[in-house]
Amino acid sequence: MEKINYQTADSMEKSKVLPLYEDAGWTAYTENSQQLMAAISKSLRVVGAWDAGKLVGLIRVVGDGEIILFIQDILVLQDYKRRGIGTNLMKLVMNEFKGVRQKVLLTEDTEETRGFYEALGFRSCDDGRMVAFAIQR
């Protein structure tokens, strides 16, 4: 099994990032790659998962790092899923920001995503305790 290296980054090469977002089918991000790269550089924290120089996973968080933290993006290449990379990325961020009171993410509602986030301690807002609202263009 490969040795995955996790590194925090202030910036990343577009040529490394775009294949990851394209693999996930996140075309709303890749259609304006300049905006995506600007968003990455302005994020509170970005951690990449690397396999021999290849970006195979990424987590990007935004927020103030004190009271609120938004998990904006977490991606793992399809060929690398089910190897603990997403879990490790999430645990690295959660450990770094363990004192933050609210940790929030908004994602698609599938059985796979529910199972992943619930296993990490997240609770769905549809359980009657909270409500979430969003505007997406």
- In the CATH hierarchy, which fold is given to the domain comprising 5-105? Aminopeptidase (3.40.630)
Separation of alpha carbons 6 and 95, rounded Å: 14
Whole-structure pTM value:
0.85
| Mean pLDDT in residue range 108-124 | 76
In order, the DSSP letters of 28-93 are HHHTTHHHHHHHHHTSSEEEEEEETTEEEEEEEEEE-SSSEEEEEEEEE-GGGTTSSHHHHHHHHH
pLDDT confidence band for 121 (50 / 70 / 90): confident
Sketch the domain layout of the chain as residue ranges: 5-105
In this prediction, residue 2 carries a pLDDT of: 67
Q: In the predicted model, what is the mean pLDDT of the chain?
A: 89
- In this structure, how many other beta carbons lie within 10 angstroms of the beta carbon of residue 13? 10
Burial of 91 (0-12, 13-18, 19+ CB in 10 A): middle
8 DSSP assignment: E
For 124-130, what is the mean pLDDT?
72
Residues 4-16 have a mean pLDDT of 93
Orientation angle between helical segments 14-23 and 33-41, nearest 10 degrees: 110
Say how far apart CA 9 and CA 95 lie, in whole Å.
17
